[in-house]
Each structure stands twice: as C-alpha cells, then as structure tokens.
Structure 1
Amino acid sequence: MEYHAEAMFTHDRSGRLHLVNEPWPGSDPAPRLFLGRTTEGGSVWRFRHDVPDQLVKQLERWCAEEAAVVDFQDRPKHEKDYWYLLQGKKMTMGPCFSIENETRGPSVDVQRITPENVRQLAREGFEWLADEISYAQPCVAVVQEGRAVSVCRSVRIGTKAHEAGLETLEQFRGRGYAAAATAGWAEAVRELGCIPLYSTSSDNLSSQRVAGKMGLSFYGVNFSIY
C-alpha cells in the first residue's frame, strides 16, 4: 500500500500530497485525504498539503482505528467523520491488487507500443494514445489484424511500483485479451525492476473481472476524499 500511494500521488518532503501523479502534463490536485486499508490490518494515510495541522491530528487518530479489510466493499469505520471534517465534495474507493503471476490467458499476439510504432498499431480505436505514448511506458497491447485491440500501460509511475491503466475496445471484450495485455505489461514493468500494481473502482465490474480471471492478489482498498 505504501508503494501504491507513492505511485498514485506526488509528495513533498514532509509526506504531504500535492498532485495526482499522472505521467503526462496537466495533473489534477491530489485528494485531501488518502486512506489505504490493507488485508493485514495496517493502514496507510496521506493528507494534502493544504489540510490544516489541527485537522490532520484528529484524522490520524481515526485512520489508526481502521480495521483490516476482508471485502473490498467494506466502508471505512470513520467514513462519515472524514467526510464531515474535510467538508468533502467527492469520494473514490476501490480494491487494490498486486500482479504476482503473469497469467497470459489465450495465446495471442502481445506487442510493446512505442512512439515509433504507435500510429501503426493504435489506429481504428486507440488513436488518442499517440499523444500520451511517450509518457505512459511501458505500454503493451494485444494485436489483432495489425492493430491494438486491448492496451495496458503505466498510468501512475513511482520509484518502486507502476499502476496499470487498461482499456479494451468494446467489440473485443470478453475474449481474455485484457488479461493477456495486463500480463504482458506486468512482465515489462518487472524488467524495469519495479512492482506491477492494479487498482480499480468499486463499481468497475469489468475491471474487477479481469483481476479475478488473472488471480491477482488482493491486498487492500484505497479510499480518497477530495
């Protein structure tokens, strides 16, 4: 969970959050509170740089009381308290997985997408990838008939871990291509000496199905208030 937090957000020297750690220019502000509850019982929490110190002290006491998570739909014990004290405007929550085994699924053509081949492989559905390909690396795709149909790339990059960003063209879903692309991406991240991580939102059922098909290791739940 420490690696997840470090990859997801930029931090200052005191450990306060500043921005969402998108690899391309134009990042949004980080949440006012990030809480990562783990299956082992320890929690990781971070606060944005502009949260007053007196609020941080109270929030830390509540964060320390959070229990281990078993089901990723379990809400934080002090969710209402966090929301009230921070005067929250938006909340996000979702399960976090580590990719410990590269389960490719079906035997398919998996290729790296680079600035050199992006326009050839990303046609007919992934054209937008050309604007981000230099930032979101590694980028791996399942290729059918010479074009990418499922793409997994690094969308949050920390010093020790990368977070996966996965997209599959609608007409190619349900064939195991997302799992194959994610497995290929995980191999590429390991080659860099980093840990491949996969997280999603509580209501993203298709992304959760990919995690289930791959047998990913559930290690906790992230919870953020903006």
Structure 2
Amino acid sequence: MWNVGYTYFHTGIIRRGGFAMQSVRSSFYQPLDSKSCHVLANALGDTPETVISVHLLRRGLCRAYVAGEPSRFDGAIVQDNFCPAEPMGFGSDPEVLWDLLKSVEGWECVNVASECATDLGEIIEENMGVRVRYYGDVYHILSKPVLNFQNEAVRQLTLDDLNLLESAPTEVQGAGFGSIRNLLSDGVVACAVISGKIVAIAHTSARTNHHADIGVFTLEEWRGRGFATAATAIVAKRVQEAGQTPVWSTGEDNFASLRVAHKLGFTEVLRRTYVIPN
C-alpha cells in the first residue's frame, strides 16, 4: 500500500513538457492504491471544491499522489485519467505541491487554492525557467429550488438512449463516469435533440453523497436558443430530488456559462486558481 508513497533518488535533470528542471535531491511519489484513494477521499471531505476529486477517487478514475499519510496529508494531487493535463492540487504549502508535481506526468497546469497560487507560480517559474499565468475557476452552488426553464427539444435521457448518446459528437457525449453507460445509469443527463441528433447536453460530471457537479456543452451552431439552460434545469432538479446540492464551476471569463448559472439561481461560493506554465 502506497500510504506515504515516496523514495529518494539523486538526479541531475528532470524533464517535463520539454523543459528541464535542475534538482539536487528530490522526492519521488508513487500513485496511491485503491484503498488509499478512498482514505484520501474521506480526508478531502464532501464540499463544492472537492466533489470532482472525491468522485474520481471513489470510482477509480484518477491517479493520486500525497505527501504524508492520505488521512492527514500535507499536500495532494488528483489527476483525472481522462483529463490528465489539468490535475487538482490540495494543501496550502506551495513547496509541497511543487514537490508532488515533479512526480506527475502529463500535467500542463494545476488547479489549486487561490491563496497559494502565486507562491506556487513563482516556484514553477524559478525551477522551469518559464513564465506562469493565472486563471480563476469560479464555484457556484444552487441552495434553493432550481427555476423551471422548459424547451420542447430538451428531455432527460435514460439507458434506452445509449445508442443515441454514443452516436453524438464527442463534445456532447458527457464525461466523468468512465463510460457513457455508467453516466446514464449512475448520473443524470439531459439533452436537446433535434432531428434525432443531440446538439446540447447537461449532465452530472461528478456525484458524491452531498454534491453533484454539472457540466454543459452546446454545439456552436445551436447556441443562444436556451438549450443549455433548459437541460441544466432538468439535471439540477433531479440532483436536488436525490438530496444533493448542484455545483457549477467555470472559468472567470466564461461569461456565457456564468449567465446560465445566474439565470438558474446558482450563487458563487468560492474561487480556485489555475497555475499555467506558458
């Protein structure tokens, strides 16, 4: 079991993404095993900012690295198997987070608590010899009954719609559950269907005991028709009926997404920051 999960080695140069990082002595962290991932999920807690990572940890859909014990970690990285370029970092010590990132392959940016983002960025700049930029990730929750928005083209999907969803463009197939079948059986999906084809989707991208993150996408030529709003209203209602709080996270300048969230009654609760080496 990879509880602490590190050994030490001497190294000259570590390479990531084409950049060379000079190191004298570094920690090398191994990914946690399944049992330890569940321990880490419990330690992270069930909150709007952890819902995606906890969902991934419990379903075995990620790689996770910790400094310290999973139950009382000094820092943690959770890397989605299907989106490895954008791992989530937890912990307030930027030196620990940087040490962990050196063991993570394929990352291009990292999402961390805003209070440590600048310090982590400075460490990355110093070690990688590149400039860093920052991008805000805004989290909302829906704490009151969702407003009702209907559209005759929008409906909830079931397992009977498996072939329909599998034949849709990748952008409107949804994600987060390992397969489309799992998404339909364990999640909630609503789509706009035009002439037998899906053109917009809202779905739970992650579910825990108390929260459910909602993702949306509309094909470009079908935007501005209210499909995303109507589909999200269906998903949010089903999530609330299951006793969970809908969560909506989006980039700070994704104004179309922010408008949908506010229209449906979501309110901002926190912000995290992407640290992005250029």
The alpha carbon displacement at 1:8 in A equals: 2.6
Equivalent residues, number? 192
Instruction: Give the 3-state SS of the residue equivalent to 1:4 in structure 2.
Output: coil
CA-based RMSD = 3.7
Structure that is richer in helix per residue: 2
Q: Percent identity?
A: 19
Quick check: 1:113 aligned with 2:154?
no
Unaligned runs of 5+ in 1: 35-44, 54-65, 67-75
Rg larger in structure: 2
**Correspondence for 2:78:** 19
- Corresponding position: 1:179 with 2:222: no
User: In structure 2, what is the equivalent of residue 134 of structure 1?
Assistant: 181
Counterpart pick for 2:200 among 150, 153, 157: 150
Partners of 1:168 and 1:178 within 8 A in 2: yes
Which has the higher relative contact order, 1 or 2, with Cα contacts under 8 A spaced 6 or more apart? Answer: 1
Closer, same or farther in 2 for the Cα pair 1:48/1:212, shift >3 Å?
A: farther
Structure 2 vs 1, CA of residues 97 and 199 (structure 1 numbering), >3 Å: closer, same or farther? Answer: same
Task: Note the C-alpha offset of 1:123.
Answer: 4.4
Q: Which has the higher strand share?
A: 2
- Flag the 1:122–1:105 CA change in 2: closer, same or farther, 3 A: farther
Counterpart AA for 1:3: T
> How does the TM-score come out when normalised to structure 1?
0.66
SS in 2 for 1:155: strand
Give the 3-state SS of the residue equivalent to 2:173 in structure 1: helix
Q: For residue 159 of structure 1, give the secondary structure of its aligned residue in structure 2.
A: coil
In the TM superposition, residue 185 of structure 1 has moved relative to its aligned partner by: 0.8
**Is the 1:118–1:129 contact (alpha carbons within 8 Å) kept by the matching residues of 2?**
no
Cα gap change, 1:168 to 1:215, in 2 (>3 Å):
same
SS in 1 for 2:47: helix
SS at the partner of 1:208? helix
CA distance in 2, matches of 1:157, 1:107: 25
TM-score (norm 2): 0.55
Deviation per residue, 1:75-114 (Å, 9 max, x gap): x577533421455866442221112332232443432224
- Aligned match of 2:148: 104
Consecutive unaligned residues of structure 2, counting only runs of 5 or more, are 1-44, 58-63, 65-69, 101-112
What is the CA distance between 1:166 and its match in structure 2? 0.3
Structure 1 residue identity aligned to 2:229: A
Partner of 1:81: 119
Q: 2: CA distance between counterparts of 1:166 and 1:109?
A: 16
Query: What is the DSSP-based 3-state SS (H/G/I as helix, E as strand, rest coil) of the residue aligned with 2:261?
Result: helix
